[in-house]
Chains A and B, each alone.
Chain A
Amino acid sequence: MAALLKIEGLRKHFGSVRAVDGVDLDVKEGELTAVIGPNGAGKTTLFHLVTGAIEPDAGRVYLDGQDITGWPPAAIVRAGLARTFQITSVFPDLTALENVLLPCLARRRETARLWGSYTRHPARAEALELLSRVGLADQAERPVGQMSHADQKLVEVAMALATQPRLLLLDEPAAGLAPGETERVIGTLREMVTAGGVTVVLIEHDMDIVFSMADRVVVLHQGRVLADGAPGDIRRNPAVKEVYLGGTFAGRA
Chain B
Amino acid sequence: MARAGSFSMNRRNSAWMERGGWPWLAFVAVAAVLPLVLREFHVHLLTEILILGLFAAAFNLLFGYTGLLSFGQAAYFAIGAYACALWLKGPWPSLPVGLIAGAVLAAAAALVVGYLCVRRDEIYFAMVTLACGQLIFVALWRWREVTGGSDGIGGIPRPPLDLGAWAVSLAPTLHFYYFTLAVVAGALYVLWRITRSPFGLALRAVRDNHRRVDYLGLPMRRYRLAAFTVSGLFCGLAGALFAPYQGTITPVLADWMWSAEPVMMTLLGGPAVFGGPVLGAALITLLKDFVASETEYWPLLVGTAVVLLVLFLPGGVGGAVRDAAVGWRAPSPPIKAGDAGEEAV
A residues sitting closer than 8 Å to B (CB atoms) are 51, 72-75, 77-78, 82-83, 85, 89-95, 97-98, 101-103, 105-107, 110-122, 141-143, 159, 162-163
Contacts and interface: CB of A to CB of B under 8 A. Distances in A.
Interface in B301-340: 336-339
B201 A98 contact: yes
A116 B211 contact: no
Main SS class of interface, B: helix
Given A72-B214, A163-B216, A102 B205 contact: yes
Nearest to B220: A74
B212 A91 contact: yes
Contacts of B169: none
Q: Which 7 pairs show the lowest CB-CB distances between chains A and B?
A: A116-B8, A91-B208, A77-B217, A73-B214, A103-B216, A74-B219, A111-B202
Interface string B173-196: 000000000000000000001101
Contacts of A83: 215
Contact of B194 (A91, A107, A114): A114
Nearest to A105: B198
B215 A77 contact: yes
Contacts of A82: 215-216
Given A93-B208, A120-B10, A143-B337, A102 B5 contact: no
A77 B213 CA distance: 11
B218 interface: yes
Interface residues on B, range: 35 or more
Interface string B109-130: 0000000000000000000000
A103 B208 contact: no
A51 B211 CA distance: 13
B4 interface: yes
Nearest to B211: A89
B204 interface: yes
Contact of A115 (B197, B205, B209): B197
A102 B219 contact: no
A122 B4 CA distance: 12
A72 B215 CA distance: 10
Given A115-B4, A116-B4, A77 B194 contact: no
Contacts of A85: 215
A141 B336 contact: yes
Given A115-B8, A118-B198, A121-B7, A92 B209 contact: yes
A91 B205 contact: yes
B214 A119 contact: no
Nearest to A91: B208
Given A94-B208, A95-B338, A106-B217, 5 more contacts: A94-B204, A102-B205, A102-B216, A106-B202, A118-B198
